[in-house]
Structure 1
Amino acid sequence: MHKLTVLYPEPADRAAFREYYLNTHLPLCAQLPGVQEITYALDICEPGAGPYFGVFQATFADEAALGAALASPEGRAVEADVRNYATGGATVFPFEVQTLPLP
């Protein structure tokens, strides 16, 4: 399994970020081919209290599925849309997920 994680620093306007993100950006993300799950959190720190305002994760079956999603027209649209709301920028990183078997 592979995940794509995006960390969002504090935006210039939290309310504007939230409105655009929930109503425009996340619906675009939901169209990524091969995406299995999307999770996110906003307001993870009080203003000025931490380095990040929000976090996003999308899960894919494997590295190839993640790469195909990012290279797709939908993936390019998601990437291009970030500048429309993330005034603080965004840190993006993909990684393979390891699972710890529990007893």
Structure 2
Amino acid sequence: MTVSYFALYRTPEDPAAFEEHYFGTHVPLVEKTPGLVENRVHRVTRQFVGQPDYFLLAELVFESAEAMKAGFRSPEWAESGKDLVAWGGMELVTMFSAEPHPGRPVA
């Protein structure tokens, strides 16, 4: 069963500069993580309810929880974490993992 790791980013002060670094530097580093099956990045186009204002949602899909844990122990993942801290992304992000709920099969 696949498992996903989510990074939910609040709206930055300078969205254009954020996207330039995020897609130009950070995403290529993240995508080197061993065991990563897919990196799905979604732009929040409209927020209906709740605070704070969100900007991007990254869903990193791994084949299994074990593959995700192994990826998180890799030097490639560590490098992407150092990058996140260096450009201030850590101040904007909430991170969590999730898997499909057994009561709601994925089509």
> Could you say which TM-score interval applies, normalised by the shorter chain?
0.7 to 0.9
Q: What is the 5 A alignment of 1:51-90?
A: 51-83=53-85, 84-86=87-89, 88-90=91-93
2: CA distance, partners of 1:16 / 1:85:
11
Partner SS, residue 7 of structure 1: strand
Q: Say how many residue pairs are matched.
A: 100
- Is there any run of 5+ residues in structure 2 with no aligned partner, and where? none
Residue by residue over 1:17-57, the C-alpha shift from the partner in whole angstroms, topping out at 9 and shown as x without a partner, is 000011101101110101111110235348xx962011001
Runs ≥4 residues deviating over 6 A: none
So what's the TM-score if we normalise by structure 1?
0.84
2: CA distance, partners of 1:45 / 1:9:
13
So what's the TM-score if we normalise by structure 2?
0.81
**2:94 aligned to 65, 70, 91, which one?**
91
From the superposition, tell whether residues 95 and 87 of structure 1 become closer, same or farther in structure 2 (CA, over 3 Å): closer
CA RMSD of aligned residues (A): 2.2
- Is there any run of 5+ residues in structure 1 with no aligned partner, and where? none
Residue by residue over 1:51-80, the C-alpha shift from the partner in whole angstroms, topping out at 9 and shown as x without a partner, is 201100111111111011111101111112
1: CA distance, partners of 2:44 / 2:18:
11
From the superposition, tell whether residues 35 and 50 of structure 1 become closer, same or farther in structure 2 (CA, over 3 Å): same
